Amino acid sequence: MKDGIHPKYYPEAVVRCACGNTWVTGSTVQEVRTDVCSACHPFFTGEQRIVDSEGRVDRFYRRLRQAQSAQGEDASEATDQEN
């Protein structure tokens, strides 16, 4: 390797997750901070969490209910017209 062009490597860099989990790995920075890890990510834990940013999930469910109720009204109108 050429001298002076590669970053310093820390073989015992500490990784800290927002959930409090920590582990040691190799990295070019001494301390790494992360928001999610395998101990708290829903894919690994099997827990489903809905992160609601600005009411988007609520707005989706409201639109879904409106669409379902509209389909129900259309079905009832169609049966009324047949009779």
Assessment of whether the complete model's pTM goes beyond 0.95: no
pLDDT over 80 at 5, yes or no: yes
The predicted pLDDT at position 63 comes to 92
* Residue 6 half-sphere exposure toward CB, CA atoms < 13 A: 8
| Domain ranges (residues) in the chain | 1-47, 50-83
The domain made up of 1-47 has a fold known as: Rhinovirus 14, subunit 4 (4.10.80)
**pLDDT tens figures, 12-24:** 999 999 889 999 9
Beta bridge mates, 31: 14
**Closest among 45, 46, 39, 42 to 17, alpha carbons compared:** 39
Phi/psi of residue 60, each to 5°? -65, -50
Give the Cα separation of 27 and 14 in Å (integer): 9
pLDDT over 90 at 37, yes or no: no
Residue 60's pLDDT band (cuts 50, 70, 90): confident
Give the Cα separation of 6 and 9 in Å (integer): 9
| Most confident stretch, 46-50, 61-65, 68-72 | 61-65
